[in-house]
Amino acid sequence: MMRTITVTIAFLFSLASIFGQAEKAKLKISHLTGDFYVYTTYNTYEESQVPANGMYLVTDNGVFMFDTPWDTTQFQPLLDSIQLKHNKNVVGCIATHWHSDKTAGLEYYRQQGIKTYTTVLTDEWSKKNNEKRAEFLMAKDTSFNVGQYSFETYYPGEGHTADNIVIWFKKEKILYGGCLIKGVDDENLGYLGDANVTEYASTLKKVQNKCRKPKFIVIAHSDWKNKNSLKHSLMMAKELKKKNAVTPSKS
């Protein structure tokens, strides 16, 4: 009898372990370099679980976030994880375009006393599409100084959306590209429903000219460890432009 109970308990623990491993964590935090971290949440897109990467920076004056979690259940867990890991509060957050995988948490974080930012253009699109909006708006490219770090927002033109911006850390050579830049394993530029397919290539070229020789390129939905992602995205954007070029009709 005792042996049966022991075997049963062992079996139940084994099942729990198997199911625990099978269920993917809802929030993942990875170290990028120095005080920079990439966080990943997940959501369902076209019946598949899709990762969404954001980034945060730990400074002497608190933690600054770039984009919000896509998964609405992870707004607070991310704050809790940052507090537990670094013993610091989040003081600011910038969303890089109006889609919900970047803006979903803006209102929640604003309610927590965190300063939230988007461009005026992003705010216009967010309002138009009933997405969450930031408290502070940037009318032009803006430089930030947070603790010992500085970075700047850069609007290179239309691409993934009409309002997409990137974040450039010139000293550290870190480019936060968001959804504008795709991974080296991607075969296309992803969702193009709000994209400018004719301007996408020139927009990426402007990013390439502005953010020279990045050591790291953090992108939204693919592996961010390969810095050839910008070059690969530019190649795909050029091909996309050719496909969408208007062929003159013969008179």
Question: pLDDT tens for residues 60-101?
Answer: 999 999 999 999 999 999 999 999 999 999 999 999 999 999
Q: Is the dihedral of CA 97, 98, 104, 109 positive or negative?
A: positive
User: Which distant-in-sequence residues (6+ apart) come within 8 Å of 17 by Cβ?
Assistant: none
pLDDT in tens, 190-225: 999 999 999 999 999 999 999 999 999 999 998 888
Does 65 reside within a domain? Answer: yes
Do residues 68 and 105 lie in contact, with contact meaning Cβ atoms separated by under 8 Å? yes
Structural domain range at position 70: 24-243
Is 135 within a domain?
A: yes
Contact between 176 and 142 (Cβ < 8 Å): no
- 18 — pLDDT class (breaks 50, 70, 90): very low
User: Is residue 233 a part of any domain in this protein?
Assistant: yes
Is residue 14 one of the residues assigned to a domain?
A: no
pLDDT one-digit tens code per residue, 121-172: 999 999 999 999 999 999 999 999 999 999 999 999 999 999 999 999 999 9
In total, how many domains does the chain have? 1
Is the per-residue pLDDT at 4 higher than 80? no
Give the pair of three-digit tokens for residue 110. 């604003």
What are φ and ψ of residue 233, in 5° steps? -65, -40
| Torsion angle, alpha carbons of 24, 27, 32, 36, to 10 | 180
Q: Is residue 4 assigned to a domain?
A: no
Query: Which pLDDT does position 23 carry in this prediction?
Result: 55
Task: Return the CATH number at 181.
Answer: 3.60.15.10
pLDDT surpasses 70 at 227: yes
> What is the pLDDT, as a whole number, of residue 246?
63
Give the Cβ contact number of residue 180 at 10 Å. Answer: 27
pTM of the full structure? 0.88
Alpha-carbon span 88 to 226, nearest angstrom: 30
**pLDDT over 70 for what percent of the chain?**
88
Q: Is residue 13 part of a domain?
A: no
Residue type, 85: K
Helix (H) or strand (E) holding 178: strand 174-178
